[in-house]
Structure 1
Amino acid sequence: MVLVVVVLLVAVMVVLIKLKLYPSPTSLKPICPTRWLTRYAAVKAVLDNYPDVLAALQEAAKELGSTTASRAAGLYKCLSSGEFLLGLYGSLPLIQCLENFNKSLQGSKVTVSGMLQAAEVTIKSLQSLRCEHKFKRLFEEAEQKLHLCDLDAIPLPRKKKIPKRLDQGLGFASNYYHDSAEEFYRVEFFSVIDAAVLNIKEYFTSTDLTEYQDLSSVLLTGTHKPEIITKYPELNESLNQQLDFFHNQFKGSTVEDYRKIFADMVPEVRRMFPQVEALLRLLLVSPASSCTAERSFNALRRLKTWLRSSMSQQRLNHLMICHVHRDRLATQSPQAIAEEFIRAEDKRRTIFGRF
């Protein structure tokens, strides 16, 4: 389906302008080539413009070149089938749910405990879609769209015969055939939901994220769990005492709250809780998301271009730091930086003087 929609966007843009169906070719959304979850807007745009897309494909099959015309004809045959349209309607709620989950993790302040809670909410949202009346509504919307576009109704798949090697009267049960297309595709829709839920559960339980969540609960609740503490040589038995004293003095609900509490502490008070600080550092050293690192890597192509091919590695590192932390850099005073640079050496004072 993804390949079909990608080729569709390329083939239909010119025809949409030619037919003047829309003021601009941005009505159909492009598909992100690297993230398959960011495709809700693209699928929704195709469904909203379905009759016009079919008309544009028919026009392209008649008037454009041979290669484009053959592709347009093939796409029209695919899009005019009821199975494809029902697949688009069925994929919308799943993609939207997973896309919201994906966006919730795109932040530098995301914690592992928050990520696991978001995964549980996503699983419940997906399981709520596994309902007969919700699929019935999707099926009815697809039928209405087919009727609007004057297309054939959604058919049942062709019945398969039992292989002769199995049909020997040995007591095998006969094949089960669904009574309607709605019943058949409802089973397929529920199978897709079950596969999505199973993959999320396996990913978030097969890794060390659950152990990380248990470690964060030690800090947030103050409960001592020896089976968890013994896995980390940085922690010892005095952690239980320090946690009790720490929770009597300071209150917080997230790991970020306790990070701010330690950041605002004076050094004398911080030295009273060395084990709590070590526990907090263990929780902060493992980020829940790699978005910051990925965005930093994506910024590399904007900094090191073919005009800057002779840039040294040291200068590139400095530019990357300035680019990634440009919010902090904007709060700094250029004059204060220049004065600090001059005060570093006496020779600079004679060269630059004072500002």
Structure 2
Amino acid sequence: MSLLSWLTSTKETVGNVGETLPTSGSEHEDELPTDLNHTEKPVQSSSQLMETELACLVPESPYQPFLLFPQRSFGNQQRAFCLSWYSKYPWLHYQEVCDSVLCFYCLVAYKRGLGSIASNKSSDDKFTKIGFSNWKKALTKFDKHQNSLSHRDAIDQVMCRNKDVGEILRKGYAEEKAENRRMLQIIITSIRYLGRQGLALCGHYKTGDDIVERGETDSNFIQLLKTRAEDNPGLFNWMKKSQSKFTSPDIQNEILSIMALMILRKIASELSGKIYTIMVDETTDLSNTEQMVLCLRYVDDDLEVHEEVIGLHSLESTSADMIVSTIQDILLRLNIRIDHCRGQCYDGAYNMSGVRSGVATQLIRLESRALYTHCYGHALNLATQDALKGVKIMKDALDTVFEITKLIKKSPKRDIIFQRFKDDVTIASPGLRVLCPTRWTVRAEALASIAENYHALQLTWDVAKDATRDTEMRARIGGVAAQMEKFDFFYGISLGRKLLNIVDNLSRSMQAKNISACDGQRLVDMTHKTLQSMRTDECFGLFWGYLECRRSSVDVSSPTLPRRKKVPRRFEKGDCAPEYPTTVQDNYRRIYLEAIELIVTTITNRFQQKGFKMMQKLETVLTSVQQPQLSEGIKDVVEFYCPDFNHPDCLLTQLNILHTSTDNPMTDLESIVTHLKSLGIAERVFFSEVIKAVKIILVMPATNAVSERSFSALRRLKTWLRTTTTQSRLNWCMLLHVHKEKTDALQMISMGNEFISRNDSRVQLFGKF
């Protein structure tokens, strides 16, 4: 809305009521500039004579008296000037001599030679020089003149150069601006709410007869404003003004960008001067666009770990060079130095971890201290897949489980049958879980849902097969039912459930934000020892007894020995006869031990990472209380992280003081961090080198779970109905939705002032918060 519209819509009466127009020779005559005195020769025309008389006058305020205005004949009706026009059009300047009105601002601008009116361009002479008195068409002509460019220009010029007029209208302007700021605040807070909740702002498309227009009236944004208008009556009228464009998509994008940039500036200020770790992952959204998410992990001065999502960035290709250039561009825009990077955490894809030209290798060339860690979550997922594929009985069982979940979950009819049997047979059992190969922590739950609903599923197949006429589907159902009757399938899901429960617990524990790579390695070692302890005859005996107990309650055949097969000659070594299991229990014991050995081996191989060795050495230096071990590792650590540390002797001295200053020995990183957090500012300065070492360890994450969570947010934001959203708008909404606490903490005054300051007309419209 322009400044003119608000000036003309005010309800304040402008000018002194009853004040007469100054006459020639009055005290106001001295105020006229000499170069503006009218010098035209008078003519006989009454209109030109009136123009000549008015040329010598510059009034201070509109003359708006309360009089008994004379009536004029317009056809069969008598019409006169109406008093209510003063409040609706405060610029009216009444002339008693000729019973006509002028525009106060256009008159002053003309007499002072301001704007386009001085050059007789785009001006209305009836409201500037002659006078308007056609009361029949008064409202139409008043509205037309009020919206004219010449009138707007006159107001701008008079308001900028006539301080007295500004002071006269100051109170009305202040109230108008305050009201407009209140409406703007409602708009901004509504956009912030929708962005925080991840809801769409725009509406869907409505198809008309010949055109397709956006259904803005059905959008969440407009409907939210209408709901808020019930408690703010002025908002609805303000939104109905034709000049108001502050609900348009362009304004929405501008406000979203202001909020998102405020969040990024906040993150950049918190990261300034601190060491950090880069975490990157890629995914494809619903519009088939390759999206890269960049996250930064850092440790603040209170030794608290933070993981911040910087945003989504579309990639033309997933090559290492493209990803590295994008990372460098983002860091440059945030004014974050690459030499402060101390870690990298990605998945094991070749473009990320390639030893020659991968992203990790290229960044290490830029900063040698930026150690690369293969995300423990991805590494554990790959190790588990390798182990499951290596044991045939477990691989076949998982394939059958996947087929079971498809048959049930993708058929509402069979799902209803299953739910009915579940409620009758095993009402307390969990629902059926879909087996997802790429999820980190759901495999054990999927196998548990099959094992707990074993009997209900077998009853489901009998009914579903009779109710199905399709030959192929009957065969699939019959094949699954036959597999569930075999002991090998029952044994496979039971053994997989037992092992995957341990692995899923490890994966779930490492996804916490405060878990570092060193903490994750200790959890891996604990899991490794737990799996090793299960490789005993006693543990297998307990597991076998559990199977026998469970088999009695379901329809599963008895275990049998496999048929003996002759070993191929190329595998024969020596003259001894091949060894075969003598009992059924011995056969399945061999499978049990083979599965445990394989999963232990795959986990060990996946977690032997080159970059972790230096982190492990640094942790050993911190937690060791013996002088010889300290001296051996400190030199390597200080040389590698130079110039982070001043001198080996300085770090050694502080570590000796740290371990001797408390009665309780601090032999693990957690106890050291707890002790350092309890210190005051002066004491932390005293242990500055130790705190640097602790930050280097804490800044390296165990998993890149924050990137995976951001992809879940992306699926909520970019749905099938929002696939056409632009990349910039998607990124802004992503930041508001992910950083909910920072979005709530955004200052309304700062957002409003930044939005207003981007345009001079907004400054005149809203003022300042």
TMscore range, shorter length: 0.7 to 0.9
Please give the residue correspondences for 1:218-297 in structure 2 after superposition, counting only pairs within 5 Å. 218-219=621-622, 223-224=630-631, 225-236=634-645, 238-242=647-651, 244-245=653-654, 248=657, 253-254=669-670, 257=674, 265=681, 275-276=689-690, 278-297=692-711
Maintained 8 Å contact 1:82/1:154: yes
Letter of the structure 2 residue corresponding to residue 15 of structure 1: R
Name whichever of 298-307 and 223-232 sits farther off: 298-307
Do structure 1's residue 22 and structure 2's residue 409 form an aligned pair? no
Q: Which structure 2 residues correspond to residues 105-116 of structure 1 after superposition, within 5 A?
A: 105-116=510-521
Is the contact between residue 97 and residue 122 of structure 1 (CA under 8 Å) also seen in structure 2? yes
Q: Which runs of 5+ in 2 are unaligned?
A: 1-396
Q: Where do 1:118-129 residues align within 5 Å?
A: 118-129=523-534
- Partners of 1:154 and 1:57 lie apart in 2 by 22
Aligned residues of 2:650 and 2:689 also touching (Cα < 8 A): no
User: Equivalent residue for 1:85?
Assistant: 490
- Which of these residues, 522, 533, 547, is aligned with residue 142 of structure 1? 547
Question: Quick one: which of 582, 600, 612 aligns to 1:179?
Answer: 582
Query: Residues 171 and 214 of structure 1: is their aligned pair in 2 closer, same or farther, counting only changes over 3 Å?
Result: closer
In the alignment, is the contact (CA less than 8 A) between 1:110 and 1:288 conserved in 2?
yes
Aligned residues between the structures: 348
Contact 1:12 1:53 in 2 (8 A): no
1:141 Cα shift?
Answer: 2.9
The alignment's C-alpha RMSD in Å is: 3.7
2:724 is the counterpart of 1:309: yes
Question: Would the alpha carbon gap of residues 349 and 282 (structure 1) be closer, same or farther in structure 2, given more than 3 Å must change?
Answer: farther
What residue in structure 2 maps to residue 338 of structure 1?
A: 751
**CA separation in 2, counterparts of 1:269 and 1:143?**
61
For 2:417, the aligned partner's letter is K
Aligned-partner Cα distance in 2 for 1:172–1:294: 55
Whether the 8 Å contact between 1:89 and 1:138 is mirrored in structure 2 is no
CA displacement, residues 26-60 of structure 1 (integer Å, 9 cap, x when unaligned): 72222234226412222112112212211212222
* CA distance in structure 2 between the partners assigned to 1:163 and 1:247 by the alignment: 64
1:45 — aligned with what? Answer: 449
CA distance in 2, matches of 1:297, 1:324: 10
Using the alignment, how far apart are the partners of 2:555 and 2:566 within structure 1? Answer: 32
Kindly indicate whether the alpha-carbon contact (under 8 Å) linking 1:16 and 1:22 is maintained by their aligned counterparts in 2.
Answer: no
Answer with 216-225 or 246-255: which moved more. Answer: 246-255
* One-letter amino acid of the structure 1 residue matched with residue 582 of structure 2: D
Separation in 2, partners of 1:145, 1:40: 18
Measure, in 1, the Cα distance between the counterparts of 2:758 and 2:408: 65
Q: TM-score, normalised by structure 2?
A: 0.40
2:545 counterpart of 1:132: no
Highest CA radius of gyration, 1 or 2?
Answer: 2
Q: Distance in 2 between matches of 1:269 and 1:129?
A: 45
Provide closer, same or farther for how the CA distance between residues 343 and 316 of structure 1 changes in structure 2, counting only shifts above 3 A: same
Q: Give the 5 Å matches for 1:319-334.
A: 319-330=733-744, 332=745, 334=747
If asked which structure has higher relative contact order (CA below 8 Å, sep 6+), I would say 2
Deviations 1:195-247 (A, max 9, x none): 11122222222432232122234345584521232223334552531563477
Seq. identity, %: 23
Deviation sequence 1:285-311 (CA, Å, 0-9, x none): 432220112222332233345536342
TM-score under structure 1 normalisation? 0.82
Q: In the alignment, which residue of structure 1 is the partner of 2:439?
A: 35
Q: Is the 8 A contact 1:304 1:311 kept in 2?
A: no
Taking the aligned partners of 2:735 and 2:678, their CA distance within structure 1 comes to: 26
How many angstroms does 1:100 deviate by?
0.2
Contact 1:259 1:280 in 2 (8 A): no
1:4 and 2:400 correspond: yes
CA 339–164 in structure 1, closer or farther in 2 if over 3 Å, else same? closer
- Greater alpha carbon shift after TM alignment, 124-133 vs 81-90: 124-133
2:522 corresponds to: 117
3-state secondary structure, aligned to 1:153: coil
Query: Which residue of structure 2 aligns with residue 352 of structure 1?
Result: 766
Matched to 2:619, the amino acid is: S
Deviates more, 1:28-37 or 1:48-57: 28-37
Query: How far is the alpha carbon of 1:102 from its aligned partner?
Result: 0.3
Equivalent pair of 1:111/1:287 in contact (CA under 8 Å): yes
Residues 673 and 694, structure 2, Cα contact 8 Å, conserved in 1: no
Larger relative helix fraction: 1
Q: CA 1:299 to 1:151, structure 2 compared with 1: closer, same or farther past 3 Å?
A: closer
Amino acid at match of 2:589: R
1:230 alignment partner AA: E
Give the structure with the larger strand fraction.
2
Structure 1 residue runs of 5 or longer lacking an equivalent are none
Amino acid at match of 2:486: S
Distance 2:684 2:522 in 1: 33
Separation in 2 of the partners of 1:302 and 1:320?
10
Inter-partner Cα distance in structure 2 for 1:199 and 1:164: 29
Which residue is equivalent to 1:211? 614
Find the counterpart in structure 1 of residue 592 from structure 2: 189
Report the secondary structure of 2:640's partner residue: coil
**Superimposed CA distance per residue, residues 130-176 of structure 1 (whole angstroms, 9 cap, x where no aligned partner):** 22232223223323333333432100111113557999xx9611111
CA apart distance, 1:339: 6.2
